[in-house]
Amino acid sequence: MTRRPFICGNWKMFKTSAEAAALARELRAQVGGVAAQVAIAPPFTALPAAHNALVGSSVELFAQNCHWEASGAYTGEVSAPMLRELGCAGVILGHSERRQLFGETDATVQKKLKAALGAGLTAIVCVGETLAEREAQRETAVVSTQVRGALAGGLTSADTARIAFAYEPVWAIGTGKVATPAQAQAMHATIRGLLRERVGGAADGIRILYGGSVKPDNAATLLSQPDIDGALVGGASLQAADFSRIVAAARERV
Ligand code: PEP
């Protein structure tokens, strides 16, 4: 089954509204009209400015997190319907920084995934092992638990069109240490196997992105692997030229 490549930029806590609008405008000029699905995930505060800058472009707007309830007494939180209202097409869930620094668990990721899909958003569910877990040869067990945990609430075949996974080894995020294409491919194949257990053949349509120090000069090799369907890009998504070159690498894969 052909899977449309998907490149998403995770801007983390970078870019004011003015800076986000400027970068979004640069990106729309450089990556418009490509066959790959392209998204950017600015901070919450910059979503309206980025949305305005992207009107009429194929570049989609994603958020970096959401709450599992639609509304309520949850000070400081933002819900999935609120993101839809701002023009978001999707949301990143369970990023390792949220798991490590903000107490995100497989259980909260599962609830957020349900809320995101219910609100009509696409979700990118992040999974990945730490260096200590890989050194203890526990990476497959850790990632399998995360994938199963995220899907514990069930997944219909209709949902499969709006869910993607991102395998992001924690030791490769922001470190310049990229997983080898073989290491990444092996984990992506494991994740696809787990998805098949859940949704059978529909698993072949679910995109699994790689994340962790993806740069213009390593993107093509990673994307040449059979189960690597795109990239979740942190640092290199903050420069239009670098991000555009990664998108170009995905275009060549089509
Ligand atoms: C990320 O934060 O999702 C990420 C992959 O970051 P970087 O590309 O900077 O390693």
pLDDT digits (tens, 9 = 90+) for 142-174: 999 999 999 998 888 788 889 999 999 999 998
Whether the predicted model's global pTM rises above the 0.95 cut:
yes
Which tokens sit at 64? Answer: 């970096």
Residue 214: pLDDT above 80? yes
Helix axes 106-118, 139-150, angle to 10 degrees: 40
Q: What does the pLDDT read at residue 253? A: 62
The answer to whether the beta carbons of residues 243 and 237 sit under 8 Å apart is yes
User: Can you give the pLDDT at residue 226?
Assistant: 96
pLDDT at position 188 is 98
For domain 6-251, the CATH superfamily is: Aldolase class I (3.20.20.70)
Protein residue closest via CA to atom 7 of ligand 1: 234
- Ligand 1: atom nearest CA of 231 is 5
- For residue 169, the model assigns a pLDDT of 97
Ligand 1 centroid to 40 CA: how many Å? 13
- Residue 124 CB burial class (10 angstroms; 0-12, 13-18, ≥19): buried
Quick one: pLDDT band at residue 254, thresholds 50, 70, 90?
A: low
Q: Looking at residue 252, what is its pLDDT?
A: 66
Find the 175 Cα to ligand 1 centroid distance in Å: 9
CA distances from 43 to 4, 62, 95, 192, 201 (A): 26, 9, 14, 30, 35
146: Cβ contacts below 8 Å, ≥ 6 apart: 94, 106, 109, 127, 128
